[in-house]
Amino acid sequence: MIDAIAFDWGGIFTEGTFDSQAHVDLAGLYGLEPSVVEPDYLELMKAFEEGAYDLPGFKGALEARLNAGEVSLDVFREAFLGAVNERAVMYDVVQAIPDRFVVGMLSNNVPELCDRVRTDPRLDRMDGRFVFSNEIKVRKPDPEAYAHLEDALAVPAAHAIFIDDAAHNIQAAAEFGFKTIHLTDMPAFYRQWRELLPDVPLPGQA
């Protein structure tokens, strides 16, 4: 029996990962090639997602790593938080989930960005069940992250589905006990959804 459905954010509610666009946008901000920015960006993002920085701290650490000139915090914030290319259909999916299911989110995410996600009215169906890495101080695929999700859902992992775009996160969730859907594209998502929830049709389901 499935009683709960939980989602990742980046790569699920966005087309592509947030980081794949953010490091490109920040590279443009500093006049650098994305390939130069990406390694330092990704390394610092791990700490950012574990709560080691606020946005000004992350900005300063990245500028120091890149030996780049400073930009204003407002300009940096706009470039960083603006790197979201939404997968709009997934918001419709969430809204269409019947009331008998508990709905939540587990995301490796950072301050300010997770605040935007939490307050998005299109995600009201989650009823505040957001688990963000920067707040629990641990990132997926660490098993502790999935334990926090299980607690937030108040449903045993074996009775819940977790949806993610990253294979290593899906594997870790399955090892913890969750049923899983690996979103690689929407046809594959709908096919896996039908296998686990054959009596729960969704908008756009093919």
**203 located within any domain:** no
Residue 104, domain CATH: 3.40.50.1000
What is the pLDDT confidence band of residue 83, given thresholds at 50, 70 and 90? Answer: confident
Q: Are residues 29 and 124 in the same domain?
A: no
| Residue/partner pairs of 72-78 with CB below 8 Å, 24 or more apart | 75/29, 76/26, 76/29, 77/112
pLDDT in tens, 137-170: 999 999 999 999 999 999 999 999 999 999 999 9
Cβ partners under 8 Å of residue 48, min gap 6: 58, 110, 134
Q: Which amino acid is at 159?
A: H
pTM reported for the whole predicted model? 0.92
For residue 205, is it within any domain? no
Which residue(s) pair with 82 in the sheet?
none
Q: 28, 54, 81: which is the final residue of a domain? A: 81
CATH number of the domain encompassing residue 49: 1.10.150
Q: Rounded to an integer, what distance in angstroms lies between the CA atom of residue 155 and that of residue 78? A: 38
Of 65, 81, 97, which marks where a domain is finished?
81
Q: Which residue spans within the chain are E strands per DSSP?
A: 4-7, 102-107, 130-132, 160-164, 179-182
Q: Which residues fall within 8 angstroms of residue 120, CB to CB, at 6 or more apart?
A: none
pLDDT digits (tens, 9 = 90+) for 92-105: 999 999 999 999 99
Give the residue numbers spanning the domain of 187: 4-16+86-196
CB of 122 closer than 8 Å to CB of 29: no
Domain boundary among 56, 81, 106: 81
Q: Is residue 202 part of a domain?
A: no
CB atoms within 10 A of CB 33: 11
